[in-house]
Structure 1
Amino acid sequence: MNIAGAIVIYIIWWWVAFLAVLPRDITGRWEAQDDGVKGADPGAPTEPHIKKKMWLATKVSGVLWLITVAIILSGVFNFRD
């Protein structure tokens, strides 16, 4: 495994993790007592917490990346054949 392959695997895992954690802790404007924005879409989240979700995705993808790299380097799966 080269460095470029490791970076690509990490980026793929990061996006998978980010899209998995994105719907966590969402309260739509139609569910909130005071949405605070006139004319906003009722399905839009009141507080998206994007930075928190990005950090969570970074942590999850780091663990998944380490597991993936360990499996590839151990030779359990040989992708070269």
Structure 2
Amino acid sequence: MTITTGVAIYLTLWWVVLFAVLPLGTVTHAEAGIDKRDGGDPGAPVDPKLKRKFLTTTWVSAVIFVILWAVLHFGLIQLPPIADPYGAG
């Protein structure tokens, strides 16, 4: 795995994990019993804690990436070669 491929895989993994982590631990205005008279969405989180979720996403993604790298590096799973779409080879 080249550095470019590793960075691309990590960033993709980071975004997937972020969308899995975002709904965890959120309390909406409706659940908290706060009236949104100004036209706000009652399903909006009261305190989204984004900094904490970004940090959680970063370390969870790093752990998953290290496991993926180790599996590929030590050959625990062999990926098939990608076929040449032009038939040369």
Deviating runs (4+, > 6 A) in structure 1? none
CA distance in 2, matches of 1:57, 1:3: 21
Q: What TM-score do you get using the length of structure 1 for normalisation?
A: 0.87
Gaps of 5+ in 2: 82-89
Q: Report how far residue 30 of structure 1 moved.
A: 1.1
Larger Rg: 2
Gaps of 5+ in 1: none
Give runs of aligned pairs for residues 1-81 of structure 1, distance below 5 A.
Answer: 1-34=1-34, 38-79=38-79, 81=81
The answer to which of 41-50 and 28-37 deviates more is 28-37
> Is the 8 Å Cα contact of residues 35 and 46 (structure 1) preserved in structure 2?
no
Q: Give the root-mean-square deviation of aligned CA atoms.
A: 1.7
* Partner AA of 1:62 in structure 2: A
TM-score, normalised relative to structure 2:
0.80
Q: How many residues matched? A: 81
Higher relative contact order (CA 8 A, sep 6+): 1
